[in-house]
Amino acid sequence: MTSENSEVTSKTSEPKEASVEQIRQSINGIDEQILELLGKRREASVSIAQTKEKNKSALRDRQREEDLLLYRIEKGKSLGLDSHFVTRIFHEVIDDSVRLQRQYFQTQANATDVGRVVKRVAFQGIEGAYGYLAAQQHFAREGDNVSYLGCSNYQAVLEAVEKGKADFGILPIENTASGGINEVYDLLLHTQLSLVGEETCKVDLCLIGQKGASKESLKTLFCHPDMVMQCSKFLSDIDVSLEYFSDAALASKRLKESKDPAVGAITSKETARLFDLDVLQENVGNQKESYTRFLIVARKPLTINRQVPSKTSLVFSTAQEPGALVRALHIFEDRGINLSKLESRPILENPWEEMFYLDLEGNPEQEHVQDALDELTRVSRFIKILGSYPTERVAPTSVKPENLAQSGADAKSGEKSLAAKESKTNKPPLPKKAKGYKLASREYKNEDTIIRVKGAVLGGDNFTVIAGPCSVESEEQIFECARVAKECGATILRGGCFKPRTSPYSFQGLGWDGLDIMAEAGKMYDLPIVTEVLAPDDVERAAEKADIIQIGARNMQNFTLLSEVGKTRRPIMLKRGMSASIDDLLHASEYILSQGNQQVFFCERGIRTFETATRNTLDLSAVPVLKQMSHLPVIVDPSHAAGTRWLVPPLSFASRAIGAHGIMIEFHPEPEKALSDGPQSLYPEQLKELMRDLMG
C-alpha cells in the first residue's frame, strides 16, 4: 500500500462528529428515562404511604429528608451540578411524594365518600374567573373528575352546596395585596357548611383589550372592585373611567362582546386567552407576586388523618374586659400550637365588639388541639369550628447552612464556638435602667428578638452569614455572587445599589436598575436581599424589592430616614456610625422602633480611632454589651473594619466566638476589578474556605 493510500485510509477512518439531530435524539432518550423513573418513584410513594398507615408513623421524617438532600447535593456536585439546582429538583419531587401520600391517607380516612364519579364544584362568576381557575388547580391535582357550576355571588355558592346542587364550593378568603375578603368572612359565620380544603392561586393581573388595540386608545376599563384595589397604582397613572363587574371573567366576556377598541379590562392571561383578547400590559398589580387564598366548603366535615399536616379554622368572641383576647391566645401558646391567621370583624348586632377568625396548625383529632379548643370554649363568649382540612403548602426541606458549607469537604473537628455554647440559662443580667431609649432595652423586653426573612433567621441561638459584593456592578456579577453565596451556605445576599462615597467621583452604584437585577438574583437562588437606602423618599420604593433595608454608618443619625424606615414592614439593619457610641446606636434604633417597625438588628462595622493599621477599629466588645442592654440581634461586618481581605477570616472567627448573631462578608468574583472596596473583598474560593471553617 502506498503512502498516499495510507493517508486516504487514515482520513476515512476518523470518527464522524455527531449531528445536532443525533444529540437531540440522545437527549430525548434521557428525558424518557427520567419520566419512567419518576413514575416508578410515584409507585414507591404510594407503597410507603400504605406502610406508614399500618404502622401509624408520621407522614414526613424531616431529619431523613435533610440527610438525603445533603447526600444528593454532594452527589450532584461530583456530577457537576450545583447545590441550588439539585435542591430545586428534589423539592419538587418531595412535594409530589408528600401530596400523593397525603391524598392516600385522606382517601382511606374518608372511604365512605369514594364512589361518586363526578364532583360538582360551585364558584362565583363564569368560566375563566379566578374561582374557576383555583377550583381547576385544586381538584385536578387530586385527580378528580369535576364539573363546574358558576354562581352570581358568594351567597349563591354557599346555597348551591347547602341545597345539594353542588358537592363543593370554593370561595376567596384573602389576597396578599388587598387583604381579607370581609363578605366571605361574614358568610362563613352563618353557614352550616364545613371547610374541607384550601387552595392558593397566583394572581397575575394584566391589562387586556381588543385585538390590535393599544393602551393609549383606552377610555373605559371593566373591573372587579377587588382588582381595582390590587391595581390602584397602575390605575392612578392612566386616564380612564371604571365600570364594575362581579368578576373579571364576566368583564372580559362583556369586553369581547363590545368589540370596542376604546374599552379594556383587568384580568388574567388565562382569561384573555379564553376570550381571544390581547394582553396590552402584563403585571399591572401593586405587588408583582400576588396570591389569593381560597377555601373549599362541603356539607359534611372532613375526617383528617392524624398523620396529615392540617389546619383548623374557627371563629370566637371574648368578654369585653382587659386581657380577654390575650388570655385566649395564651391557650395556644401554652400548648405549642402555631396560629397562622387572626382576623377581626365587627359583630353587627353589638356595636364596637369584635369577632375573631383564627387559623391554627393541627386538627381536633390531636389531643393537644382538642384540649386547647375545650379551654377556649370555657373562656369565650362564642366559638364555632368552621372546619379542619389538610394544609395545602408542603414546606420544603432545607439543609442547615453549616451542613451545606461542609458538603464536599471533610468536617473540621474542634471545640464549638462560644456563641454555639451560649444558652438561655447563661444570659447577662438586665440593665438597671434604660435611659433615653425604651423599646430597644432589655428592661422593656427580656426575651431575644428573632427576625425571620424568607428562611433566614437573625437572633436567638442562630449564626447567620450575609455575603455579597460591596456594589452591584452588573447582572453577570451579582448572579455569580448569588450562586457562590448559596453554594457556600450564606443565607442572605448583600449588595449596594446606592453607594454613599467619600469622593463624588467614585462609583455611586447602579441605582434602581441595580436593585431590579439584585432582586432577580435573590429570587433565582432563594436568597433574601439587603441593600442600603440613602433618602427618605426612596424607602417605600426600595421596600418593594429589598427584603432587608440597610441604614449605613453615615446615616445612623439621619433621624428623618430612621423614622421613615420605621414605617415599613421590612427588617432594618442599622449600622453603627463611625464615631458613634453604643448609647448613640441604641437611641438611633429607638427612632425606628417607635414608628412601629420592631424588626431591627444592629451591625458593628468598626469605629474611627487614632489607629491607622486597619481601615477602622473593630469594637468586638460592643457585641456582648449590646446583647446585655438590648434584645435586638447583633451582627458584625469584619470587611469594613479590616479594609484588607487577609484580616477578614480571623475577625469573623472572633465575631462568632464573642457571641455575634452573624457576620456580613464582602466578596467579589474578581476583586482586583471591583468598582468599590476591592482590597477588602474575598475571592470566591476564600469565602468557601472561610465558610467551611466557620460553620464546622
pLDDT: which is higher, 403 or 201: 201
**Average pLDDT estimate for 401-416:** 55
Strand-strand pairing, 290-298 and 451-453: unpaired
Q: Does domain 34-109 have CATH number 1.20.59.10?
A: yes
Q: What is the pLDDT of residue 346?
A: 86
User: Going by C-beta distance under 8 Å and a sequence separation of 6 or more, which residues neighbour residue 448?
Assistant: 459, 460, 631, 633
Lookup result for grid cell 475571592 = 683
Catalytic residue among 222, 245, 294, 356: 294
**Average pLDDT estimate for 604-630:** 94
Would you give the distance in Å from CA 551 to the centre of its chain? 23
**pLDDT tens-place string over residues 331-358:** 999 999 999 999 998 876 667 778 899 9
Grid coordinates given for 695:
460553620
Catalytic residue among 87, 267, 292, 531: 292
CATH code for the structural domain at 205-282? 3.40.190.10
Percentage of the chain with pLDDT > 70? 90
Which of 98-102, 337-341, 380-384, 582-586 is predicted with the least confidence, judged by mean pLDDT? 98-102
Domain definitions of the chain by residue range: 34-109, 205-282, 417-694
Q: What is the pLDDT of residue 204?
A: 84
CA distances from 132 to 146, 165, 274, 593 (A): 11, 17, 12, 43
**pLDDT tens-place string over residues 11-45:** 555 566 788 888 899 999 999 999 999 889 888 88
pLDDT at 411 over 70: no
pLDDT: which is higher, 501 or 50: 50
CATH code for the structural domain at 417-694? 3.20.20.70
Name the pLDDT band for 193 (thresholds 50, 70, 90): very high
Which of 181-190, 355-364, 425-434, 453-462 is predicted with the least confidence, judged by mean pLDDT? 425-434
pLDDT at 109 over 90: no
Which residues does residue 663 pair with via DSSP β-bridges, in sequence order?
A: 465, 636
Percentage of the chain with pLDDT > 90? 50
**Average pLDDT estimate for 383-405:** 80
pLDDT at 691 over 80: yes
What count of Cα atoms within 13 Å lies in the side-chain half-sphere of residue 628? 14
State the chain's mean pLDDT as an integer.
Answer: 86
pLDDT at 677 over 80: yes
Lookup result for grid cell 423539592 = 91
Q: Supply angle C-alpha 193, 198, 204, rounded to 5.
A: 130
Q: What is the pLDDT of residue 513?
A: 93
pLDDT at 653 over 90: yes
DSSP 412: P
Cβ neighbour number for residue 370 with a 10 Å cutoff: 13
294 in active site: yes
**pLDDT tens-place string over residues 150-167:** 999 999 999 999 999 999
Q: What is the pLDDT of residue 82?
A: 86
The residue type at 140: A
Q: What are phi and psi of 467, to 5 degrees?
A: -140, 150
Q: What is the pLDDT of residue 652?
A: 96
pLDDT: which is higher, 499 or 184: 184
- Do 34-109 and 205-282 come out as alike in CATH topology? no
Q: What is the pLDDT of residue 127?
A: 86
Single pTM value for the model: 0.72
pLDDT at 10 over 60: no
